[in-house]
């Protein structure tokens, strides 16, 4: 065969570069030729080197399918562009018997000898190498020795060279020198001495992909030394911070200057400790003012624990103002899967000091339990969060000037994106709230409605002690930077302060444009209730522009 390749190389150097060549392979009998034709080798070639490569592949294929006794009979140049190769492929060996012996336990096999089709030999070896790799023997080698052909069967002995068992030693981060030390320490602490295999590398890669504040330049690499196994990751700091808002000025009824507008600011990992900071303020210039401040610090003192604190202030007209503070201590399974225990205190002031059964000053205190999980999809610039789940429950009491009530609440928010194909997706979201109490006051009810809730209704214009909703969108990607979506929202509410039960419907359409400066989002929606027909005059247009930095 070596002489063949030398001959073809000599021919190749003397033929025109622009000429095309044909390759034909035949057997010593018609049946052999039929078998050869079933291999589907490449017949048309641009140069002689391509023919040489095809012949090498053909030889390997014969061996793979059990033709161990093949040999090349002759080669013929039929004309300037056609080469004929005549083979005697011999008898086919259909099965291989492999003696495994004491290695059967190591490979999770029940028998010490197996028989498999000859063409499955390579895949069987790869499968068992994967089995050894899962057990930490990443550098193991498998060999088949003492091979003999007996009665159309190939017999062979299995030899395994395990080398040393590998365990994880250290995660090395390159490219981002200020990567949060608390997270890196936690990674190394959790994974130290774990059995090393490709699943472990994949887990690290996926976990790092869930961090908003970093991007991975490439897949992690492994360094094996005599005494250690290290995983190298290649990171760069991303731009997870977001800003959206505007501020306006107007005069109230008494010609006093007032501010209106909103501000939505989200900061993450500014201090290189994976911390989060959120600030939200909105004043509609008329009836409502909302303020929300939240901060979260994970992996305190390089442990799996963290804290979260928030402050909420909501003022409705000149009726009441609620001030809620919450402090949580959390345990982080990962940065995106965590559980918190907390204390939530609320003080509500009846501004007009009416103090009736339905509106009154009150103070409440709840002990809360919260579980959160999220899954990112960074490849989607429009919707980078594929899955989100948050369950918050609390038990406590509310005290008014009249009475003290035991209370319980549960709040659920869950969303998921279903990818139909590259351009079509379905978004579905559930928002639910339930407050259990013998009596209710208006200023403690759950408030909702608006762009982040059931759409077609003004922001926080709805109230209820029980609320359930299904929020959905069908999304279509017009181009890499333009996205349109439908709006179909349904909700059920119960308000015991007004003895009201109703069903809500929000429909509409929206589109988003991704620009160099941020994401522009426009929504046109219309909301109606069970007893109210849809009116165009009730339509709402909502606009947002979020900038990442």
Of 169 and 249, the one with more pLDDT = 169
Which of 7-11, 158-162, 308-312, 352-356 ranks highest by mean pLDDT?
308-312
DSSP-assigned beta bridge partners for residue 487: 508
> Does the pLDDT value for residue 127 go beyond 70?
yes
Q: How many other β-carbons are positioned within 10 Å of the β-carbon of residue 292?
A: 16
Note the helical H segments in 13-145.
30-37, 48-64, 121-134
Of 148 and 433, the one with more pLDDT = 433
Q: What is the pLDDT of residue 512?
A: 94
Of 247 and 70, the one with more pLDDT = 70
What gap in Å lies between CA 193 and CA 484, rounded to an integer?
49
- pLDDT tens by residue, 405-445: 999 999 999 999 999 999 999 999 999 999 999 999 999 99
Q: What is the pLDDT of residue 451?
A: 87
Mean pLDDT to the nearest integer, 271-297: 91
The C-alpha torsion from 27 through 33 and 38 to 42, rounded to 10°, is 60
**What is the CA angle 287-288-291, rounded to 5?**
160
**What is the CA angle 370-506-441, rounded to 5?**
55
Q: What is the pLDDT of residue 18?
A: 55
Model confidence at 353, in pLDDT bands (50, 70, 90)?
Answer: confident
What gap in Å lies between CA 188 and CA 418, rounded to an integer?
34
Q: What is the pLDDT of residue 10?
A: 44
Residues 6+ apart with CB under 8 A from 436: 407, 408, 409
- Quick one: 225 exposed, middle or buried, by C-beta within 10 A (0-12, 13-18, 19+)? exposed
DSSP-assigned beta bridge partners for residue 483: 477, 512
Q: DSSP 3-state assignment of 82?
A: strand
- Quick one: 541 exposed, middle or buried, by C-beta within 10 A (0-12, 13-18, 19+)? exposed
324-333 long-range contacts, Cβ below 8 Å, gap at least 24? 326/368, 328/368, 328/370, 329/305, 330/298, 330/305, 330/306, 330/370, 331/304, 331/305, 332/186, 332/298, 332/299, 332/304, 332/305, 332/306, 333/304
Q: What is the pLDDT of residue 255?
A: 61
Mean pLDDT to the nearest integer, 482-490: 96
8-state DSSP, 377: -
**CB-based contact 151:270 (threshold 8 Å):** no
8-state DSSP, 50: H
Model confidence at 354, in pLDDT bands (50, 70, 90)?
Answer: confident
What gap in Å lies between CA 236 and CA 294, rounded to an integer?
26
**CB-based contact 351:318 (threshold 8 Å):** yes
Of 6 and 244, the one with more pLDDT = 244
> Does the pLDDT value for residue 9 go beyond 50?
no
> Does the pLDDT value for residue 258 go beyond 80?
no
**CB-based contact 472:433 (threshold 8 Å):** no
The β-bridge relationship of strands 95-99 and 153-161 is parallel
> Does the pLDDT value for residue 252 go beyond 70?
no
DSSP-assigned beta bridge partners for residue 389: 373, 414
The torsion angles phi and psi of 36, rounded to 5 degrees, stand at -65, -40
**CB-based contact 213:237 (threshold 8 Å):** yes
- pLDDT tens by residue, 436-474: 999 999 999 999 998 889 999 988 889 999 999 999 999
CATH code for residues 95-161? 3.10.20
> Does the pLDDT value for residue 2 go beyond 50?
no
CATH code for residues 242-548? 2.40.160.50
What percentage of the chain exceeds 90 in pLDDT? Answer: 68
Model confidence at 16, in pLDDT bands (50, 70, 90)?
Answer: very low
- pLDDT tens by residue, 57-102: 999 999 889 998 899 999 888 888 899 999 999 989 989 999 999 8
Q: What is the pLDDT of residue 503?
A: 96
33-39 long-range contacts, Cβ below 8 Å, gap at least 24? 35/89, 36/87, 36/89
Q: What is the pLDDT of residue 6?
A: 43
CATH code for residues 2-88? 3.10.20
pTM of the model: 0.81
Model confidence at 226, in pLDDT bands (50, 70, 90)?
Answer: confident
Q: DSSP 3-state assignment of 311?
A: strand
Model confidence at 257, in pLDDT bands (50, 70, 90)?
Answer: low
Q: How far is CA 185 from CA 124, 180, 188, 191, 222, in A?
A: 39, 9, 5, 10, 19
8-state DSSP, 195: B
């Amino acid at each position: 065969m070596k002489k063949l390749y030398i001959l073809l190389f000599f021919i190749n150097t003397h033929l025109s570069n622009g000429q095309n060549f044909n390759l034909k392979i035949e057997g010593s009998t018609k049946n052999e030729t039929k078998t050869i034709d079933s291999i589907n080798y490449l017949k048309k070639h641009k140069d002689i080197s391509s023919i040489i490569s095809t012949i090498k592949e053909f030889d390997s294929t014969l061996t793979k399918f059990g033709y161990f006794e093949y040999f090349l009979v002759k080669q013929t140049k039929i004309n300037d562009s056609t080469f004929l190769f005549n083979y005697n492929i011999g008898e086919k060996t259909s099965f291989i018997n492999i003696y495994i012996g004491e290695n059967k336990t190591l490979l999770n096999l029940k028998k010490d000898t197996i028989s498999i089709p000859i063409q499955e030999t390579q895949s069987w070896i790869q499968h068992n190498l994967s089995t050894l790799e899962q057990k930490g023997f990443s550098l193991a080698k498998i060999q088949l020795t003492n091979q003999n052909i007996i009665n159309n069967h190939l017999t062979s002995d299995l030899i395994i060279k395990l080398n040393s068992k590998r365990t994880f030693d250290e995660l090395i981060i390159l490219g981002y020198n200020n990567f949060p030390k608390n997270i890196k320490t936690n990674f190394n602490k959790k994974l130290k001495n774990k059995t090393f295999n490709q699943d472990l590398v994949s887990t690290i890669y996926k976990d790092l992909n869930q961090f908003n504040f970093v991007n991975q330049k490439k897949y992690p690499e492994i360094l094996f030394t005599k005494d250690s196994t290290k995983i190298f990751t290649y990171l760069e700091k991303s731009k997870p911070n977001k800003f959206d808002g505007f501020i306006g000025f107007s005069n109230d009824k008494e010609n006093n200057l007032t501010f209106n507008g909103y501000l939505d600011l989200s900061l993450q990992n500014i201090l290189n400790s994976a911390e989060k900071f959120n600030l939200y303020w909105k004043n509609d210039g008329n009836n409502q003012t909302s303020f929300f401040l939240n901060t979260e610090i994970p992996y305190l003192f390089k442990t799996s624990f963290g804290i979260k604190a928030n402050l909420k202030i909501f003022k409705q007209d000149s009726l009441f103002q609620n001030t809620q503070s919450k402090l949580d201590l959390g345990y982080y399974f990962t940065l995106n899967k965590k559980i918190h225990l907390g204390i939530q205190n609320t003080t509500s002031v009846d501004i007009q000091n009416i103090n009736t059964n339905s509106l009154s000053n009150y103070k409440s205190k709840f002990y809360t339990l919260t579980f959160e999980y999220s899954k990112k999809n960074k490849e989607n610039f429009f919707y980078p969060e594929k899955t989100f789940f948050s369950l918050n429950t609390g038990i406590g009491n509310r005290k008014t000037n009249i009475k003290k009530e035991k209370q319980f609440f549960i709040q659920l928010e869950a969303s998921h994106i279903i990818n139909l194909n590259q351009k079509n997706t379905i978004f579905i979201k559930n928002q639910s709230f339930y407050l259990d109490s013998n009596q209710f006051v208006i200023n403690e009810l759950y408030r909702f409605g608006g762009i982040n809730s059931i759409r077609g209704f003004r922001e926080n214009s709805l109230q209820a002690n029980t609320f359930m909703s299904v929020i959905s969108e069908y999304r279509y990607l017009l181009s890499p930077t333009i996205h349109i979506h439908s709006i179909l929202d349904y909700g059920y509410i119960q308000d015991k302060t007004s003895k009201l039960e109703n069903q809500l419907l929000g429909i509409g359409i929206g589109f988003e444009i991704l620009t160099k400066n941020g994401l522009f989002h426009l929504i046109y929606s219309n909301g109606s209730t069970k007893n109210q027909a849809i009116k165009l005059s009730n339509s709402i247009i909502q606009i947002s522009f979020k900038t990442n930095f």
